[in-house]
Amino acid sequence: MPYKIHVAYIVPDTRADVKKRYIENLGIVKKLNNLVLVDAYTIDQQLSKLSLSKIAQIITDPDSETYTINEPLAPKKFDWVIEIGFLPGVTDNIGTTARETIEDILETRLNGQGVYSSQLLFLSGSLTKPLVKQIAESLYNPLIQRAYIKSFNEFNRDRGMDNIVPEVRIQKKPHVLSIDLKVNDDELEKIGKLGIKNVDGTRRGPLALDLEALKIIRDYFNKKGRKPTDIELESLAQTWSEHCKHTIFADPIDEIENGLFKTFIKGATDKIRKHKGKSDFCVSVFTDNSGAIIFDDEYLITDKVETHNSPSALDPFGGAITGIGGVNRDTLGFGLAAKPIINKYGYCFAYPWDSEPLFRDSERKQKMLPPKRILEGVIDGVRVGGNNSGIPTPQGFMFFDKRYKGKPLVFVGTVGLIPRKVGNHVAFKKKAESGDYIVMIGGKVGQDGIHGATFSSESLNTSSPASAVQIGDPITQKKLSDAVVKEARDAELFNSITDNGAGGLSSSVCEMARESGGCVVNLEKVPLKYPGLDPWQIWISESQERMTLSVPQKKWRKIADLFSRRGVEATVIGKFTASGKCEIFYNKKRIMNIDMDFLHDGRPIKRQASLTFFTHFKEPKLKEEKNFNNTIISMLKRPNIASFMFISQQYDHEVQAGSVLKPLQGKGLVNSDATVTRPVLTSQKGVILSYGINPYYSDIDTYHMAACAIDTAIRNVICSGAHLDHFALLDNFCWSSSDSPERLFQLKKATQACYDYAVQYGTPFISGKDSMFNDFKGYDKNGDFIKISVPPTLLISGIGVIPDVSKTISLDLKFPGDSLYILGETFDELGASEYFHMLSEHARDDSIGNSVPKVNAQKNKSTYSIVSHAINKGLIASAISVHRGGLVIALLKTAMAGMLGINVSLHNIPGKVTNNHQALFSESQGRIIVSISPSSEKEFQKIVKNIPHKKIGTVSKNSRVMIRGVNNKKIVDLNIKDALNAYRETFAGY
Amino acid sequence: MKKPIGIILSGYGLNCEEETAHAFQIAGAQAEIVHINDLIKGLVKLDKYQIMAFPGGFSYGDDLGSGKAYALKFKNHLQKDLDRFSQRDTLIIGICNGFQILTHLNLLTGTLTFNTSARYLDRWVDLKIESESPWLRNIKTLSCPIAHGEGRFHANKKILKDLKQNKMIAARYYNGEMSALYNLDPNPNGSLDNIAGITDRTGRILGIMPHPERAMYFTQLPHWTYLKEKLIRKSVKNKRNLPTYGPGLKIFKNAVSYFL
């Protein structure tokens, strides 16, 4: 019989107030009379009464909480109660902490998970059961959680909620299958598409191996004279997958024999590095888990950006937190382990006010989460992942388009810091040596993430583990991270390290085995969350918070002792060898024996062909307008422009004490385009970060889309004081239907632009990642089939090093009387702009125009270099990059940030514009607005005389934004406070 | 004079130990980061230290309530050492999660519970200093950031009366420079009587929700680029002469001078 301890607040419980407001805002019920929260701990262990009351006493704070043991704890009056707990096998962090605390106090070990947390919500109000059901649905996620509802009478009759222990129980015994591949092509295809057939006839989920690959595998095992085992097939499928091998980017396409990645991305970097010669700052690019550049004589900085899209659609919180946790481990897994110093985020969402439901099945039983819950869950996940690990999260963005409704894009990135040398070792190099122990550290292994996308809702309500989605455990990872990066690395206790992410052990061990030339693994040694896992599941499980280390045998005792003192589980699971083979044993039986060469390089190469593809859009009708005040207010409220202060303020951006330029700048707290951090507190050097993303432009031309993303990422850091000399890029492609020739054409054009512009700017790519199938296939509210594909999306992230952070500048206007200048040229480039999107939404058509902004890198480069120079000389008081929304939005942002008015004329600005619409909203690249103090103006004018520039006005004392248009007539007269209110309105309630 | 030695606790999700140690170091102390398990194992003894700091962080993920699980572990294994330490003429500080730990260690009274917004919040606040604690000597006001989800101070009437009567209220949120500049509510979390920090009866033990170590350098200030422009324009010949340190460092310097 399990025990249940209930804990409730006796002081005001704000969590309950907030939940009450949340429920009242759902529109299901107008008013709740009361809501009370009670936390419950279900303990599945034989304990004495004394121990139980000791436990209850210690987990309760006597000043603020009260408890009951095995007795319900409920308010005197309520109408309904909802209990929400986890499904079997889902990470329960609160339960785990409770278990560890209990173990520490009782000085005994509990079996298995031992303690399970849940929460009870007591509701008072005029509610019917269906309404309460609806409320419950908005509070829990059926993929990871369970909810039970009882009425007041039922609760009293049953003396509380039922005692449920969500323990994983797997009835079957672990076993290994051999798979017959000597079958007809139909059956072979089925194995690839639906997965290996279990003994009971069910399929395990797609291997994503096509016929050609399966035939190569069949031939390989034919030559060996045996059938492959299930673990061998699963392992090959993992290693050869798009996810691991990036086949679309790697394989030949059209005339490009070496593939897009080698030709255009790595090709650009190679060329730039060669050109830079001695001033090359790249150190380790495209080879390790992150890319690394020089920081100073002592340190390197690393950077990596990942996406975690599909999991975030199913469980936004879990998907996002495991995403950020994973990319933190990509930092730990760089070289001999880098320390995570900055987290970054980027979200592409559907509009949160879109309430049209989507379903995964035609019967409309499996409802997708609505965009608002995805948004909230993802934001929460990245917050907990970063804040709880003590990694600042200053940098990020949100971008909205209805085509992200089926698959949101969740970009997560981490910057790391690593000494250039650890003892006598060059720290960015690592090599597992033959004879080293394979050591797995961190969490235990469950069925998490195995064939993630393939599951049915039926299987989730039984005692089978919820394997599709997972929740991260930041504290387990923090312990692991600290032990590795603050102690084990500097004591030189391991030779190599890699993250267990996609593909789990299969991927990390085989990757490291390449360094030594082979491996032998004993899978039964792997610590499990619960018994009953098949060997193939242990091998490819994606359970979180794990790293694989290569530890010299003579250092094992020392590292084992360290990890044990730091509360980190570490297990020897095998040895690295030089045998040329990957061998796996399970209880002494050999179940896998594949040549390393075949495993890594046996994959068939695919020849891809693209098809030229452009869409022509209608041009919107532009009316002559005398006054743009209301239009500008509407633009400021656009979700792609509006303030997302609510995210910046809930993400700790100041931990580690290196914050220099923050995510919110100026008195008006305007979201910034670049942030600066000082990672080494004894040095004045800084790391500057920025991004550029323009998915709208993809509809017209992906070449210019990519060019603009690069130009924007560069321009954003230039405005804060960075120099192009020490600046690198990262690429993240999120495409859809990527095997279609049209999409391949768009991909080819985008990567071509990446090459052209990276080379021209001299900014090398140091790391990148792609996610090629962001398509949702499901059903709409009528049960009709619907496919939603994301627009081709390229995130360019920028990272640079600044010699002296005290020379950087922020985007806010500083003092009245300062002069305002525009640098760079404006053209009629409103195609696919935010403004045209607004107009086309009003007109309910697709008139987004065709004149997409084009980048003149040579011109822009001189502007940027002059701005860097002027900032370095201290001549510029503020600078802001002109991008989404055009000139007027940039002017308003810099004014709102300074809470100062401006008096500006757009008459004869550099470039060529035909009307006020273009002057105000065109998204021409390469433009920067700066403010200059009167005493610096002369010197500034001298410096900018050879680049396109114009003084457009001054900063005024009053709080009005006055703008005269191309004919020098007044077209804008806005109060700065009204503008700020509009800018903050859209996400004010979030 | 010999530098005082401070121990900065770490482990189980505390995460501000490095910058807190750095703050003590630039203030003139020796600072050693020690994992709680090394204290428990007896590999390090508290006896050699004069200053103890529980830094900010997320010990045990705040899972059983902020600071609770870490404090339980500390009490369970180190109560006697802690008693010995606090009975000596030593200083103890708990910042943010560290403050939460100190209340659960019963070194300080009151409770820290969820912000009224029930959301984690990172922003700058202004503090009015009311105590004569050695940590706060010669500080009248101080601006530095908060970053917490459970920083709302709460105490029953009896405790509050005791805090007031014995001058144990260390700092209150007030409408100072930052709140005015950014037009923000001076009290960021709904704390009772605007209380941001308290001490024990002796004043030697300080718990404070805001992070002084995040205001130890000038360039950590949210408006330093504005101050820089102001300084440049005031100065002769536009010469840049920026301050190096921020207001938060004073707390750490006070701790050092207590022992000199």
* Residues A613-626 pLDDT 10s: 999 999 999 988 89
Q: Residue B205 is inside which H or E element, if any?
A: strand B205-208
Give the mean pLDDT of A942-969.
Answer: 96
Q: How confident is the model at residue A315 (pLDDT cuts 50, 70, 90)?
A: confident
Whether A393 shows a pLDDT value over 60: the answer reads yes
Test A650 with B120 for CB contact under 8 angstroms: yes
Q: How confident is the model at residue A459 (pLDDT cuts 50, 70, 90)?
A: very low
* Residues A547-567 pLDDT 10s: 999 999 999 999 999 999 999
User: Which of A15, A57, A59, A64 to substitute to test the interface with B, most B CBs within 10 Å?
Assistant: A64
Whose CA is closest to A91, among A499, A473, A475?
A473
d(CA A395, CA A383): 12
Whose CA is closest to A607, among A255, A153, A187?
A255
Give the mean pLDDT of A762-779.
Answer: 93
Whether A457 shows a pLDDT value over 50: the answer reads no
Q: How confident is the model at residue A463 (pLDDT cuts 50, 70, 90)?
A: very low
Test A101 with B73 for CB contact under 8 angstroms: yes
d(CA A130, CA A29): 11
CB A812 within 8 A of CB A795: no
User: Quick one: CA dihedral A168, A173, A179, A184, positive or negative?
Assistant: negative
d(CA A435, CA A861): 52
User: Quick one: CA dihedral A893, A692, A683, A327, positive or negative?
Assistant: positive
* B17 tagged catalytic: no
d(CA B227, CA A877): 11
Whose CA is closest to B38, among B8, B69, B59, B58?
B8
Whether A764 shows a pLDDT value over 50: the answer reads yes
Whether A451 shows a pLDDT value over 80: the answer reads no
State phi, psi for A20 to the nearest 5 degrees: -65, -50
* Residues A6-41 pLDDT 10s: 999 988 888 898 889 888 888 888 788 999 999 999
What pLDDT is attached to residue B36? 97
Give the mean pLDDT of A446-471.
Answer: 55
Whether A204 shows a pLDDT value over 90: the answer reads no
d(CA A854, CA A856): 7
Q: Quick one: A809-990 is in which CATH superfamily?
A: PurM-like C-terminal domain (3.90.650.10)
The per-residue b/e assignment along A614-642, b for 16 or more CB within 10 angstroms, e otherwise, is: eeebeebebeeeeebbebbbebbbbbbbb
CATH number for the domain formed by residue range(s) B5-258: 3.40.50.880
Q: How confident is the model at residue A602 (pLDDT cuts 50, 70, 90)?
A: very high
- Average pLDDT of the residues of chain B: 95
Residue A57 annotated as part of some ligand binding site: no
State what percent of residues in chain A have pLDDT above 90.
79
Q: Which of A94, A566, A664 sits opposite B63 (nearest CB)?
A: A94
d(CA A321, CA A178): 37
Whether A804 shows a pLDDT value over 50: the answer reads yes
Q: Which of A104, A474, A654 sits opposite B73 (nearest CB)?
A: A104
Angle CA A499–A406–A193, to nearest 5: 65
Minimum mean pLDDT among A86-100, A277-291, A406-420: which range?
A86-100
- Chain B nearest-CA distance from A136, in A, is 20
* B96 tagged catalytic: yes
Quote the distance between the C-alpha of residue A246 and its chain's center. Answer: 19
- Chain B nearest-CA distance from A678, in A, is 9
Whether A380 shows a pLDDT value over 50: the answer reads yes
State what percent of residues in chain A have pLDDT above 70.
98
Angle CA A645–A647–A652, to nearest 5: 105
What pLDDT is attached to residue A455? 37
Whether B1 shows a pLDDT value over 80: the answer reads no
What pLDDT is attached to residue A468? 60
What pLDDT is attached to residue A353? 95
d(CA A431, CA A344): 29
Q: Which residues 6+ apart lie within 8 Å of A353 measured at CB?
A: A372
d(CA A524, CA A530): 13
Q: Which amino acid is at A573?
A: I
User: Quick one: CA dihedral B73, B75, B76, B81, positive or negative?
Assistant: positive
What pLDDT is attached to residue A462? 39
Partners of A651 on chain B (C-beta within 8 Å) are 122
Residue A483 bridge partners (DSSP): none
State what percent of residues in chain B have pLDDT above 90.
90
ipTM of this predicted structure? 0.97
CB A692 within 8 A of CB A729: no
Test A14 with B65 for CB contact under 8 angstroms: no
d(CA A72, CA A7): 10
* Residues A490-536 pLDDT 10s: 999 999 999 998 889 999 999 999 999 999 999 999 999 888 899 99
Q: Show the tokens assigned to A165.
A: 């222990």
Whose CA is closest to A195, among A228, A227, A222, A234?
A234
What pLDDT is attached to residue A461? 35
Test B229 with A478 for CB contact under 8 angstroms: no
Q: Is B115 on the interface with A (CB under 8 A)?
A: yes
What pLDDT is attached to residue A466? 54
Domain boundaries, chain A: 3-157, 185-245, 809-990
Q: Which amino acid is at A892?
A: L
Q: Is B104 on the interface with A (CB under 8 A)?
A: yes
Partners of B23 on chain A (C-beta within 8 Å) are 657
Partners of A806 on chain B (C-beta within 8 Å) are 218-219, 228, 240, 242
Instruction: State the first-to-last Cα distance of chain A, in angstroms, to the nearest integer.
Output: 43
Domain boundaries, chain B: 5-258
Quote the distance between the C-alpha of residue A354 and its chain's center. Answer: 22
Q: Which of A478, A666, A669 sits opposite B13 (nearest CB)?
A: A478
State what percent of residues in chain B have pLDDT above 70.
98
Give the mean pLDDT of B48-72.
Answer: 93
Query: Between A and B, how many residue pairs show a Cβ–Cβ distance under 8 A?
Result: 191
